[in-house]
Amino acid sequence: MAYGGYSYIDKKYEPKDDDFIVLFWLDGHAPVEKLAEAVASESSVGTWTKISTMKSKVFRLYRARIFKIIKVTKDSGFVYMAYPYEHFDDKNVMQLFAGVLGNLFGLKELEDCYVLDVKLPERYQRQFKGPGAGIKGIRRYVGTTKSKRPHVGTIVKPKVGLTPKEFADVAYKAWLGGLDLVKDDENLVDQKFCPWKDRFDRVANTLDRVEAKTGEKKLYATNITDSNIERMIERLEHVKDSGMKMVMLDVFILGTPTVMKIVDEARKAKLFVHAHRAGYAAHHRGNFGINFGIYEKFWRLVGVDQLHIGTGVGKMEGGALLINHFHRIAEDYHIPEKFYLGSLGETWWKKIKPILSVASGGMDPGKVEAAVAIHGKNVVIQAGGGVHGHPGGTLAGARALRQAADAIAEGISPAKYAKTHKELRDAIKTWGYVDPDTVKAKFAFEKGMKRKMLEWMVLKKGLKGIRAIWEEL
């Protein structure tokens, strides 16, 4: 079943270690084999018709090979493709995106086209430096290497609108209450009511005062996102010259080349990079889309140090199994292949350091224990509303969040800890408590025979089945 005169299906093909493997969900107006041929052609060497310039050498060396199809209906299914290493430029992520995440989405015979995963060969990974600091580096700086407690932070709210002085006052209370991190929101950079430099200088000054008072190291993730790269670099240099340690980037919005440039500059300046993923969901949630985990792999590869990945218990999409999978992409060296999650797995090259996952979006102190059941302790738990909405205000909200993290470090349930810690108790009274056993039950369900049930559901329902598992478990 050829497309444009050539066939890309080769079920006998055994992928090589150096191949890039891509997993697609396809549905459309033609048998799935034909859809797969179209995608393989458009994303590698072919076009809609036979061409006189297609040398047999080109087709043999550089084409994508469809080595497995798992049909769900006649016209839909999961398609596994292998792309030869030589198909892609060295260290040019955008050329890879233009191929496997590019033109194919526009093919008119497709009704669904979702790229579930891209597996990156070690040889490719070796061209990148990965994070400069990652989990170990940030923990060392904050002083939590021994305690291994989750880091806690806040996003100053309202998202925009405060003056630099008001912003710095909120930051002061948040740090004084015990938070490790204060950050700008994704849509705050340099508005007239809160110019970046004025805000930054005031917050830097506040940070010095709080560190002197508390004896703890604090971080401020200042959003330097801008359409003008020179301006971003000027801000980064100002951060370095002020002796501060972190910059924040809206990584999806900025695009990979800008992120790579700024990460390089940050690495030279010994600054950590906090990555906000705003905008990712435009790709991740549709029937034509790209899974967030793919972006996440590239962001770890190019070297951000901590990254928003969702929570599993808060306001953003994604249930426990999916967010745990994203967490593993951030922290682990070996991520398992799980068909029912759309995961091909991954093995990171040993020099690509683990990064901190950031659990953010609708968090509050009563959700910390459940979030830790999903992410583990190598996580930054961030709450905006869940700190500044505390009945006692920002200072009490910050105390409550830190108390929850301290409880985890001491091996005590925050629910129990709340009996002797008023701020935490008030937070739980306000927003309730998410029982971590509800999360643990989902992981227990995943195990053993239940795994087969999940696979069966995906084989019956295709992408809809995977989405149900992503959301409900």
Binding site for ligand 3PG (CB under 6 A): 155, 157, 185-186, 276, 308, 315, 360-363, 383-386
Tell the smallest beta-carbon distance from residue 57 to ligand 3PG (Å): 50
Nearer to ligand 3PG, 284 or 308 (CB): 308
Tell the smallest beta-carbon distance from residue 255 to ligand 3PG (Å): 19
Among candidates 375, 316, 381, which has minimal Cα distance to 183?
381
CA distance 249 to 271: 12
Nearer to ligand 3PG, 119 or 390 (CB): 390
Amino acid at 418: A
- Residue among 151, 245, 274, 276 flagged as catalytic: 276
Tell the smallest beta-carbon distance from residue 90 to ligand 3PG (Å): 35
Q: How many CA atoms lie within 13 A of 56 on its CB side?
A: 0
Does 276 qualify as catalytic in the annotation? yes
Cβ–Cβ under 8 Å, residues 136 and 145: yes
Output the CA torsion sign for 417, 419, 420, 422: positive
Among candidates 184, 168, 175, which has minimal Cα distance to 384?
184
Q: How many CA atoms lie within 13 A of 204 on its CB side?
A: 17
Residue nearest to ligand 3PG (CB): 384
Nearer to ligand 3PG, 302 or 363 (CB): 363
Among candidates 179, 214, 229, which has minimal Cα distance to 423?
179
Output the CA torsion sign for 201, 197, 260, 380: positive
- Residue among 157, 308, 325, 442 flagged as catalytic: 157
Tell the smallest beta-carbon distance from residue 365 to ligand 3PG (Å): 12
Does 157 qualify as catalytic in the annotation? yes
First to last CA, the chain: 38
Amino acid at 359: A
Nearer to ligand 3PG, 170 or 466 (CB): 170
Residues 6 or more apart whose Cβ sits within 8 Å of residue 424: 365, 399, 400, 403, 404, 407, 414, 417, 418
Nearer to ligand 3PG, 43 or 223 (CB): 223
Residues 6 or more apart whose Cβ sits within 8 Å of residue 197: 235, 238
Nearer to ligand 3PG, 162 or 363 (CB): 363
Residues with a known catalytic role: 157, 276
